[in-house]
Structures are given as C-alpha cells and as structure tokens.
Chain A
Amino acid sequence: MKIALLGNPNTGKSTVFNMLTGLRQQVGNFPGVTVDKKQGSIKTPNHTQQLLDFPGTYSIFARSLDEQVVQDVLTNKQHPDFPDAVIYIADAANLERNLLFFSQLYDLGFPILLVLNMWDRAQRKGLRINVEQLQKQFPAAAIVTANARVAIGKDRILQALDELPSQARTAFHDLDLTALQTDSTQTENTNARLDKLRNLGLVQSVPTTAVNSSTRLDRILTHRIYGYLIFTAVLLIIFQFIFSFASIPMDFIDAQFVRLSAWVSDSLPEGLLSKLISQGLIPGIGGVFVFVPQIAILFFFIALLEESGYLSRVVFIMDRIMRPFGLNGKSVVPLLSSVACAIPGIMSARTISDWKERLITILVAPFMSCSARIPVYTLLISLVIPKTYIGGFINLQGLILFGLYALGILFALGTAFILRLLVRSGKPGFHLMELPEYKAPRLYNVGIAVYEKVKIFIFDAGKIIVAISILLWALATYGPSSRDQKLKALQQQTTYIQATDLEKQEQENSLLLSQSYIGHFGKWMEPAIAPLGYDWKIGIALLSSFAAREVFVGSLATIYAVGDDTDNNKRLVQKLRDEKNESGQVVYSLATGASLLVFYVFAMQCMATLAVVKRETNSWKWPLLQLVFMGFVAYLSAFIVYQLLI
C-alpha cells in the first residue's frame, strides 16, 4: 500500500518521516519535475508499506511548483504516485489553520490518519484541544497525538495505520473540490472551511500576549544593521569551512584514489584494461568523490539554518535586494556558496520553491568565480600582471584578482536581470511565507539531509562525470598512428639523447599530448581561437580543462614539458615567459593573459557543474544552453579584451 505524508510547512513533517523510515529512504524526483520525492518503507505491526513524503503545502489549490505536484498527484487516480491512504501531520499549536488542508483531503475521500504533532508545544502555549469534538466532526478519520522531535508517537502512528477506518463518509464541507478552478471560488471555499473550523470550538486557550522569544530574537536578526552583520558572519563561517577546512578531506580523498590507481596498475597485467581502470575510471570516480566534503559541509550548515528557522529570516532580509534581479531571498545562499564551488551551490537552489527563481539562480550560479579558478587566475596573473603597487600600497595583482571576482558577480546579477524578462513563468512569484518559531536543530535530521544530498550527487551526477572524464582521458591519451613515428623521431634527437631521465619523460609526455586526439583537435581549432590571442597549445589546455578548470595549469605544464607539479609554478611561469611564436613575439603577452583571465571568468569549463544542472533541472536543455551562452560570453569578451590590449 502507498501512503502519502502530507501537511503544512513547519509542522515537523520531515521529522515524522525520518522517525518512521530512518535511513530506509530514497530521494528522487516526481515525474517530469524537480520536486523532491522522498520514499521509504515502514513496518506497521501487520504490514510493510511505502511512505511517500510530499512537499509541505497549505491547501490542495496550487500556486507554486511544489503545490502543483501535490495537486496533480492527489486529484488524479491514474497518477502512479496516487496514494491509498494519507498520514496528515498537523501542528497542534496551530490547529485551525492546519485543519484546512486536512478537511480538503478528508473530502477527497482518502482513508486518513490525523497526527496532532508538537503536542507538547500546544500544551506549553496553554492550548486545550478538544479531540473528542474533532473526532465527531471527522468520524472517518483516525486521530493520534505525537511529538516527533523527541520520537514520541511512532508506535501510535504505526498501530493506527493498520486500523485505518475506510467507511463511507459525509463530506465535512460538501463541495466537489476539483471543480473549483477560479481564484474567487477557491477563496470562497477556503474562507467557508476556515469559518466552519473556527466555529467548532476545537481549541480553548488561555489568551497570552504572543510576544515570545521568537519576536525578540527577530528584532535583532532582521535589524537593518545587525541583521546583515550576523548574516555576513554566518556566511564567513560557512565559507571558512568550505574553502579552507574542506581541503583536508579533499586532499585525503585525492591521495587515496591516486594510491588506488597505482595499486591497480601494479597488480593488473599491463594493457588496455589496466590503463582504462587505473588512468580513466579510478581518477574519474575520484573526481566525483573529491566534491563530497564541500557538498557535505554546505548542506550541514544549510540544514542547520533551515531547521533552526533562521533561513527564513535570511530570505526575509534579502528579499528586497534580490527581487530586482528576478531572484529570491533564498538565492543568496546558492549564489554565495558558488564562490566556493558551483556544485553544492546549485544543489542548494532546491530550497527555492518558485521554479522561475530557482532556474535563474541555477543558470547564473556558475558565473561566480569558484575555487577551481584560483589556480588558473594565480598562474596567469603572476605571468602577465606586473607586481607593482598602486599608490604605494594597493597590490596590482591583488586588485586584478578582486576585479575578476567582481566581474563574475556583476555578470551573474546582470544575466539574472535579463533572464527575469526572458524566462516564462506560469504563475507570478510571491513571497507569502511563514516565519517559523526558532527551534534547536535536531542533529538526526541534519545528518539525514547531508547523507541524502551526498548520495544524490554521487549516484545521479556522478555517472555523467565519470563518463565524460573517461572520454576526455581517452582523447588525451590516444592519438592517430602517426604519433608513434613522431615519438621515434623525438628519441633520435640529440636534445633528447642528452637529457636526464626525468627530462626525457617530460619531453615524451609533451609530444604524446600534443599528438593525441585532443592535441589534433586543439590544432584544428587554432584559427578559431587565434583572434583571442591563443595558439594551439593553449587550445589543448582549454579543451582538457573542461574536466575541471584547474586542469588548465597541469595541461600547460605537460605541453611545455615541465612536469605536472602544480605546487611549484615557477618553472612553468619561466617557460611560459620565454615562449615565442613563429614571428618571435612573446606568446603570453599582457593581451593574451588578460584575454585568458576573462575567458576563465565566464566560460562554463566544468563538466561536473553541467552534470549537476542536468540533475537539478531534469533536462539537458538548460545545461547545454548554459554551456553555449557562457561560452559565447567568454569568447566575445576575451576577443574584445585581446583586441583592445594588443
């Protein structure tokens, strides 16, 4: 049997879901849309059943993507996710409004279990709930109380599921809900239901002035100065973790995969298979796992902020600033996290419920300069920007680096502004939102959120990343048969014969890469990139850095036969400075260097990001559009910069 878990936002619904299913859950998408579909099996005393968690909504009438999913599934008996029964989670401290959606579901005829959650909070607030009266009004529903935050009520819920009454019922408010199509009939029906619910006398309360701890805290957290200061501080802490501390586990993961590669190539007999596994497959998988620390850290913090109730305050204070750009207050976290890495940033855009705002956020996020661009920026800046000081104290190199970051942010916002006008959306975005009470986050929920995100990345985006990296590896490793003759010719040369073993290796690697398929492709496209000031060697580095931007540095090192030692760029920088073209001019002039810097600010040089965008938008259309658009902007601006400076 399929059971749907439904309820308003902020009722502890996901806590109930985690309590009932534990780690036996899978996260996917509802068919055709990117709305999280969480599924898990639960064991009632007599049966094993499938529990399906839906987005939290206030009613059956849809205005947002999340709500549309709920409406589509529940009003269509043919839908593959149409449930056989419903568990409805209501916030007992806020009963009447919570019962609106419940009453709609009741009238749609589902066998239904009403869980009065947060029972303790209702009691603390001095609310007395007349459960008897509630049962009398909804005779066909089962009702239990629970307090999922402290794991109370699990057995009661499971027990009740086995005894769900399924007798015929008279409607609570006798109207065919699916017939209500217009704004005014929906409003009318909602008002009538709410009036009826309020007049049942379900809740008696000792009236308390509701200036509680939440509002006192809110005065500080949404203050026009302290609010932003505190938010900035929170972001700085998150960045510190993603930027600096994540590198420790990332280096460790990297080292383990290098060791594994070495072990495989030692233990398997030499040949195609051994090469494919040790140089193609294992580094490809390593390239997926290396992102895990950043993803885990970001989602740990996002889950903390979300669970505590602070994230909705962030949205509250950022909404006005982001609105002109077609973005949402919630876009702030994805965009700023993209400064560390666009992959967790884009994955975190899922918190934005409006589809248009979410899509725009995803599309512009890769313009933010991520940490993988830093090696490219530093190499090129040290190559072409003089180490001088402006006005005696502003380091020009540092200023340029800052300028590159600013350029990325500017383009992200500018593109968002244009997309706002271009992207069609069915329904107007709005910001009607509950600011939930502050709560201490539950680590169990946070842990599950992190676990699910990491799992999704590894299994969904990971497949694409591994496939593309194997392809790139093959193109860079293999070449047409003419390569062997060129290699033999190299080995006859005196410069080779007199070289040390290490230099021999470097010369061979350089030749093998430039004669590989990617090498040939780089030469073939030289006419296309010449107007940007690039030769075929840069072309090869551009192509191979599609695997990840920092590969640019390593590829140049290989081509210029200085060994792939990215920690020590000095030899490479020297070599690049000495590089002359056929007419004797310096290749890495200021014009070419600046053109490359601008190119890397804008170009979508990251297959892992494309794979994640595909996962998050559920189609290849958007990542491909992004690839083409960002490539176009990169090409055009690199062209302008080169032509201006030359």
Chain B
Amino acid sequence: MSQTLDSISLHQLVEISAIASSAIAPKLSEMGLTKGQKIKAIFKAPFGDPIAYEINGNIISMRKEEAMQVEVHMA
C-alpha cells in the first residue's frame, strides 16, 4: 500500500517510490530524496509539523505539505 511521507509513523523505515511533479520537486531531489532511497521520520516539531527525516545519514526537516509530495512504501 502506498502512502505519502507526511503520514508515516516515527522510526519506520520506508522507501521512496515517486515524487509528485511540482515546483519543489527539483529541491527534494537535490536533498537526496530520489526514487529507491530509504528514509525514516525521526522526530517531529511540537505541533507535528515540520517533521525531521533521516536519509543517507543526514537530517532533513520538511513541512507536512512538502512531505505530502513524496510517495513511499514499506521498505
């Protein structure tokens, strides 16, 4: 079942399956979010937004609306 990155639970390792086409898509790629990469949410800001993710040993923070652009599935 496919989900978007904003809805995965903490510490659950997932794999990126697609990134929706939008103005922010090239930026997501540049930060290393490309198809097939493994990613997990590691902590959230107080109101549940933004969320910090770990990918390739980096911590990247994203707003929910940005994370919604990233489609993932269970790794």
Count, chain A residues at interface, CB 8 A: 45
Contacts of A319 in B (CB 8 A): 45, 49-50, 63
Cα separation A227 to B52 with both chains bound (whole Å): 15
Could you say which of A100, A184, A428, A437 contacts B25, with CB atoms under 8 Å apart? A184
Contacts of B23 in A (CB 8 A): 63, 183, 427-428
Given contacts A93-B57, A214-B59, A219-B43, 14 further A-B contacts (CB under 8 A): A97-B31, A183-B25, A186-B26, A187-B25, A187-B29, A194-B34, A210-B54, A223-B46, A316-B61, A320-B45, A430-B66, A431-B66, A432-B27, A435-B60
Cα separation A414 to B42 with both chains bound (whole Å): 34
Let me know if A565 is at the binding interface, CB within 8 A. no
Let me know if A59 is at the binding interface, CB within 8 A. yes
Could you say which of A59, A219, A435 contacts B61, with CB atoms under 8 Å apart? A435
Contacts of A321 in B (CB 8 A): 47
Cα separation A499 to B29 with both chains bound (whole Å): 81
Do the beta carbons of B27 and A63 come within 8 Å of each other?
Answer: yes
Do the beta carbons of A435 and B34 come within 8 Å of each other?
Answer: no
Contacts of A316 in B (CB 8 A): 45, 50, 52, 61
The answer to whether A194 and B29 touch (CB under 8 A), given A219-B43, A227-B46, is yes
Within the complex, the shortest CB–CB distance from A8 to chain B, in Å, comes to: 9
Proximity bits, B24-53, A CB within 8 Å = 1, else 0:
111111111011000000111111011010
Do the beta carbons of A435 and B59 come within 8 Å of each other?
Answer: yes
Cα separation A329 to B37 with both chains bound (whole Å): 28
Do the beta carbons of A183 and B60 come within 8 Å of each other?
Answer: no
Do the beta carbons of B59 and A431 come within 8 Å of each other?
Answer: no
Instruction: Please classify the interface of chain A as helix (H, G, I), strand (E, B), loop, or mixed, using the class held by over half of its residues.
Output: helix
A431 closest partner in B (C-beta)? B63
Could you say which of B24, B28, B57, B61 contacts A433, with CB atoms under 8 Å apart? B61
B44 closest partner in A (C-beta)? A222
Within 8 A of A (CB), among B1-31: 19, 21-31
Let me know if B68 is at the binding interface, CB within 8 A. no
Contacts of A63 in B (CB 8 A): 23-24, 26-27
The answer to whether A191 and B29 touch (CB under 8 A), given A94-B57, A432-B60, A435-B60, is yes
Could you say which of B44, B46, B59, B60 contacts A215, with CB atoms under 8 Å apart? B59
Do the beta carbons of A183 and B26 come within 8 Å of each other?
Answer: yes
Let me know if A564 is at the binding interface, CB within 8 A. no
Cα separation A319 to B27 with both chains bound (whole Å): 19
Do the beta carbons of A96 and B42 come within 8 Å of each other?
Answer: no
Do the beta carbons of B30 and A320 come within 8 Å of each other?
Answer: no
Proximity bits, A101-130, B CB within 8 Å = 1, else 0:
100000000000000000000000100000
Cα separation A219 to B10 with both chains bound (whole Å): 12
Let me know if A451 is at the binding interface, CB within 8 A. no
Cα separation A210 to B59 with both chains bound (whole Å): 10
Contacts of B49 in A (CB 8 A): 319-320
The answer to whether A96 and B56 touch (CB under 8 A), given A218-B43, A432-B31, is yes
Do the beta carbons of A125 and B57 come within 8 Å of each other?
Answer: yes
The answer to whether A317 and B46 touch (CB under 8 A), given A187-B26, A187-B29, A194-B34, is yes
